[in-house]
Structure 1
Amino acid sequence: MADQQVHDAPGPVPPQLPVLRWAQPPEGPVLVLLDQRRLPAHETELVCTDVPALVHAIQTLAVRGAPLLGIAGAYGIALAAARGYDVVEAAGLLEVARPTAVNLRYGVRLAADAHGRAEAAGATPEQAAGAALEAARALHRADAEASRRMAAHGLAFLGELLPGGGHRILTHCNTGALVSGGEGTAFAVALAAHRAGELRHLWVDETRPLLQGARLTAWEAARNGMPYSLLSDNAAGSLFAAGEVDAVMIGADRIAADGSVANKVGSYPLAVLARYHHVPFVVVAPTTTLDLTTPDGSAIEVEQRPAREVTEVPVPRGAVAEAGSGVSVAPLGTRAYNPAFDVTPPELVTAVVTEEGVLSPVTGDGIARLCAAARRGSEG
């Protein structure tokens, strides 16, 4: 079950509610999410008391973004264990809630494995649930630290690519604090540049059909006082042609073993434009997004979403909005092609920035080295 609590923003930069938090009221533990469907007009908390409610929140994009989905998945296992539900069944439901985002599977398995190890060692149900919760909290902390390190690596790399500062960065979808245990991935790099006085302008793609750029990235940029402009996705080409973009920086939902990058649909066209206009195309993602079990881009399962997200426009600002609910703009019965993601081949990617460092050029061997470095770091 899920309940909502609404907090109307009283001013231009109000304190932000936590994007995700674990709470233990008298009636039992819950997972509390900042409902991203209601932004930017309202900060609304969505309270999940069981895994089906969390799955619904994931599928309707109340909670989204690859790193945060991993964290949410781990807490979902802890919630199932603490509430006395079947953890194996919960893991099965969560893992397939959004198939492209590999972080979700990673977080679910991390917490489920911790729970299983505790049970095998003779722990009580309460102790096993505690082990799953600690695994989720550890992942949450690790992602915040990864965000900090990615921002530092990305800012240094920008300085190498574009000496002198004054960066004009184009970004797509939303990659800030709303997708992370910290300040984000690609957006965190732009924010670090802003704080260092090196960001001249942030170009924000609206990101159709669900407008994550317009609703979420613009909101985060405004909250942080960053110089930014919103553009329709199909205006990006003219922006490149005018020489107004110094670098493209995006996140990723999965990076295959060969370096192919799955990200929000619309990313691949930006990579093509960037290559034609000799503009760096940089992907920023934690190593939990690297997936050596997926050999190449053709093996990435791309989520297909409902046609109504394309055939309708979103409901008016401030209303409770299920993803894709709104006013019809196409004839009744219109079919739509609506992949949630597209895949960019590694030869179009200038660099992949992770918490373990920057990989450029992007190769399969390099991806394997980053994964090995991440394993060594977690074991240490």
Structure 2
Amino acid sequence: MREQLLAVEKIRAIEWRDGALYLLDQRLLPHRQSWLRLDTVAEVVDAIRDRAVQGAPAVGIAGAYGVVLAARARLQAGGDWCEALEADFACLEQLRPATVNLYWALQHLRERLVRLKDGDDALALLEFVALGIHASDREANLTMAQLGMELIRRHQGNAQVLLTHGNAGALATGGFGTALGVVRAAHLEGLIERVYVDETRPWLQGARLTAWELAADGVPVSVNADAAAAHLMKVKGITWAVVGAERIAANGDVINAIGTYQLAVNAMHHGVRLMVVAPSSSIDMNLENGEDLLFEECEGDELLEVAGHRVAADVHAVNPSYDVTPADLVDYIVTEKGVVERPDSAKLAQLMCRKRLH
């Protein structure tokens, strides 16, 4: 399966070359493919804040490369560069409170700096670590794709109908995607009849990004309004809802793009299995449950406008970015360390003690 996925790889959204970070600008998709070249940490901060890069793993990878760019500038400036670098760490950390992958990546780099020895090439070391984070995420995608595909085959076997929400594909990761990695693998095995994609308002990640990725891979795909998901579950024979995650709490609660919670409730009512696919770096064992997390709320104009054009009345808009899906609504969490069925605190603690699967 790994070789099959590698052979059909079409989309890469993050590249590090010539000492610069290149990002495929997700704000312009699907109509235009434009790459941003980022040479400073300030440019990386802007790209994350303005959603040129989206998806928890991708944001974590971009943040790691941002530290490399910041360290290069601090070293060139002289003085106590390591202390000055803390300001750049702090700036990156506050960008996405719900995205634990970003925090995880930054902490990983911090820990390597602490172990820095006299005579070590600090910049080369940080670049090596950032490249490792990127490569590790790509390998994790391949493992999760295999594990998730096997779940689908085991439970149904025949070509079936899936539904997804948000974007958890190549654009959102360093490789093939989390949820969409599973979809890609299942498609290669002939297990997919059709995939329905929630448009995922207000940023339309599903309609703009997920549908574009799946169509590029030749996967039969249909976009639907978020509010149509329950109806489709009732009349279209949907067997799986497959989603990614911004963060997973220690008890198995899932924080993801707004609308995931209602999707999970609808799935439970209609007997549709819910699979959450995310790397172990998305699991926050310091967060007891999802309700303990303070969520950011986005500007109301995102909801009241489409492509910069006002489509709603001049009223106040409630526009939360994320919601919490309780663990008891989740059938499976798939990570590169293995699969957890009906997740709870004990099962996730056991999972996190494992070494990575090979």
Q: Please say whether Structure 1 and Structure 2 have the same fold, judged by a TM-score greater than 0.5.
A: yes
Q: Is 1:327 paired with 2:320?
A: no
Task: State the shift of 1:303 in Å.
Answer: 2.1
Q: Normalising by structure 1, what TM-score? A: 0.87
Deviations 1:98-154 (A, max 9, x none): 110100111112123223322xx1146xx1111111111111111111000000000
| Aligned-partner Cα distance in 2 for 1:184–1:369 | 25
Give the corresponding residue for 2:112: 114
Q: Is 1:150 paired with 2:132?
A: no
Deviations 1:302-321 (A, max 9, x none): 2211111011112xxxxxxx
Give the corresponding residue for 1:231: 224
Is the 2:11–2:171 contact (alpha carbons within 8 Å) kept by the matching residues of 1?
A: no
Give percent identity, aligned residues only. 39
Q: One-letter code of the match for 1:39?
A: L
Give the corresponding residue for 2:78: none
Task: State the shift of 1:301 in Å.
Answer: 2.6
Give the corresponding residue for 1:96: 94
Q: Secondary structure at the match of 2:33?
A: strand
Task: State the shift of 1:17 in Å.
Answer: 6.6
- Total equivalences in the alignment: 342
Give the corresponding residue for 2:122: 128
| Aligned-partner Cα distance in 1 for 2:180–2:190 | 15
Give the corresponding residue for 1:246: 239
Is the 2:153–2:191 contact (alpha carbons within 8 Å) kept by the matching residues of 1?
A: no
Give the corresponding residue for 1:55: 45
Q: Secondary structure at the match of 1:174?
A: coil
Of residues 21, 41, 49, the one that matches 1:31 is: 21
Unaligned runs of 5+ in 1: 1-14, 315-325
Is the 1:70–1:104 contact (alpha carbons within 8 Å) kept by the matching residues of 2?
A: yes
Q: CA, structure 1 residues 147+17, in 2 after alignment: closer, same or farther (shift >3 Å)?
A: closer
Task: State the shift of 1:16 in Å.
Answer: 5.6
| Aligned-partner Cα distance in 2 for 1:69–1:350 | 26
| Aligned-partner Cα distance in 1 for 2:112–2:123 | 9
Q: Is 1:365 paired with 2:358?
A: no
Q: How do residues 277-288 of structure 1 correspond to structure 2 at under 5 angstroms?
A: 277-288=270-281
CA RMSD of aligned residues (A): 1.6
Q: One-letter code of the match for 1:100?
A: A
Q: Normalising by structure 2, what TM-score? A: 0.92
Deviations 1:232-258 (A, max 9, x none): 111111101214211100000000000
| Aligned-partner Cα distance in 2 for 1:147–1:204 | 20
